[in-house]
Structure 1
Amino acid sequence: MRPRLLFVSNLFPDTKEPYRGLDNVTLLHHLKDRWDIRVVALRPTLGAWRGAGLKLLPRSQDEIFRPHYVPVPYIPRVGDAWNPGLMHRALQRELVRVKAEGAWDVLLASWLYPDGGAATRAAAAAGTPSVLIAQGSDVHKYLRVPRRKQAILEAVKASRGVITRSRSLATLLGEAGAEKSKLHPVHNGVDVSLFHGGPREEERGRLGLKDKATVILYVGNLLPVKNPELLLRAFARLRAGWQGAPLQLRMAGKGPMREGLEKLAGELGISGSVYFLGPQDAGQIASWMRAADVLCMSSHNEGLPNVVLEAMASGLPVVATDVGGIHEVVDAPWKGALVPPAKEEELTAGLQRVLEQAPDRQRIATYGSGLSWDATADACDRILRDALEK
């Protein structure tokens, strides 16, 4: 008989937000043959104060987890003192219903604040162990806020263990005072059935890249934290002195900065070489990764973004700012280059160096193929079973 796992988080998709918490639901799908899994998807919302319900539905492939979407009263900006308690009360009421339909053996919660604190308190009240997942910003940003830091450390203390999406997150939590023996770095996985090496010319033909253009690929939301303006400026500088095949910058993603970025491209005189692709699904991103010459990330802050792992699995070298846990993967010159954040000249130089060195794409893809979701699920399964046995 499979042990029973209850997953609790605000980071779980629905049909309106199909990409919300995609890494979490992907992990659950890779664990579903080992665990009987149910999901409580929290939705902090002002509407909960008025008793408004949620008319959310799971994606068809996620119905197996019988997810229930729970509205949680939420106070924006000034609610740090109250939001964890509000979430805990909402979760506690929901878990009474869940337990009546069948208990759970381990509670797994993703996002340390306030989800983690609410979940560990609820698990303790039910007499079951809990394991947490640290995603990224819940560590990078929230440890800087004293009240949130205290709540995070209390949640870690109450848990049986914490899965961190990178080693750097574990280091930050340990330095903040979390018990280091509870911290377990496990990278997200890659769907290697989609992201893999392949014939570049064939892929480029399918994407309409009929010339010999050198393609720099950006994948991400067009948000200030991603600093796409830096990438445009570095691209303009690189293009001005470039002696090789014509350069193109292909930017996949959406966000509020798009109009400003289009304007900046015009001011820099690079509009004809910059292509805004808009949102792309996983299959489209995989095609672009096989076709491109380098992936570039110019962020101010990151955890360990999946797009870097996907690039590796696709045989695509990476040039990125040295933030978060990216250095854990891009850790050798044959994989790409890391540069200091917000340094236009150094980002330009990193791009030029990688583009001129003719990377061994097969070697990169072989390395990346080991970053599969199966490997990630194996590691998480061991942590969950250890929690169950303690």
Structure 2
Amino acid sequence: MERIIQTLASDAMRGRSALVPEDIGKAADFIASEFKAIGLTPYAEQNYRQSFEITQLSLATQEVLLNGQQLSAENVLIQSSQPAVNWNQDAGIPILKITSEEDFSQRFRAITQQKKDAIVLIDPTFEATFRRFQKILGKGKIVEKLPQGGNSIVFILAKDLPTDYQIKFSNNFKKIPLFNVAGVLPGKSKAHEFVIFSGHYDHIGILEPVGQDSIANGADDDASGVTAIISLAKHFKKAGNNERTLIFVAFTGEEIGMYGSKYFSNHINADDVTAMINIEMIGKDAKFGENSLYVTGFNQSNLATLMQQEVVNSKFKFFPDPYPTQQLFYRSDNAILAALGVPAHTFSTVQIDQDDLYHTVKDEVSTLNIKNIASSIEAIALGTKGIVEGKVTPSRVEKLKD
């Protein structure tokens, strides 16, 4: 386990950003080599990859003129899926406002969800919040395919807009290859029934330096989960008693919108999937202490209950998600299959409300409890024994309505 997690979270992987193919490709090749050494069958392509593309939209040019004077770019945030825009006061674009009395985040979200052209004036009292949103959203937009039509929203940090203005900008459209890594352990008597073990192998890449460190290694998030996937594949291959087909998949693109799990989930028949065990951040003790994992959507199916019965003679326990307000059940890579009725749950230990190393350059192997990872892997291996051997079948999750 230490060899695997040290490799995935090493500086050589450069933070495993899904948007930098040459960096995340190194991690993909390593995971594929592990799957091959174990003896898994490739799931999609012979190199164990499941490849697809997304499109990244980024601002190419920008010019905002107010009464003939150019407004500083730091006071403008553009959210657009159109190739180019040229607006002036005669274009009839609606002008909206976020006033000082409003909830900025709520109003911002409501405006963007309308998906209509607009110019939005933001009261200068929200400058600090605006700057934070600008830093997060100003890097561009990711879409699964080239937009047809689209809309543009221009946010301007100002109370009022003069009667004479012009807003011009253009976007670049760049196709980026993405790839899940997946291997299969074929089943015997119930080969048409699938049990999926998953985790995401991408992270957030290179950040602004903290001291001399700029690489977000993502040891807990989610090299720990991928280490579990590889370890479980080795365990079940050696056991050789899987009546159901086991699919081990390392997802890409979780950090930029769960694109890898969306693609995988939309290209498999959900009715054929008996269960999905998604593993996310198991490198530290849960709030329940050692020998524990919490399960998102615990009561949505009886998967965790069945697994608890398998480890009843051990010290290990599976707990319901202690962070219900975070709505984690539909915020990780289990979400799409869960929405389609699969008992698909995420297993984790991260204390999400207290982990100050999350998404920083400090998420390194030295901060993890390796014994915690080991006990979690062992509990999942034992807990899924009856499901893997085809002796028990978890109940289905209620499907989300369209």
TM score, norm. by length of structure 1: 0.33
The higher-RCO structure (CA 8 Å, 6+ apart) is 2
Q: Select the structure of larger CA radius of gyration.
A: 2
TM score, norm. by length of structure 2: 0.32
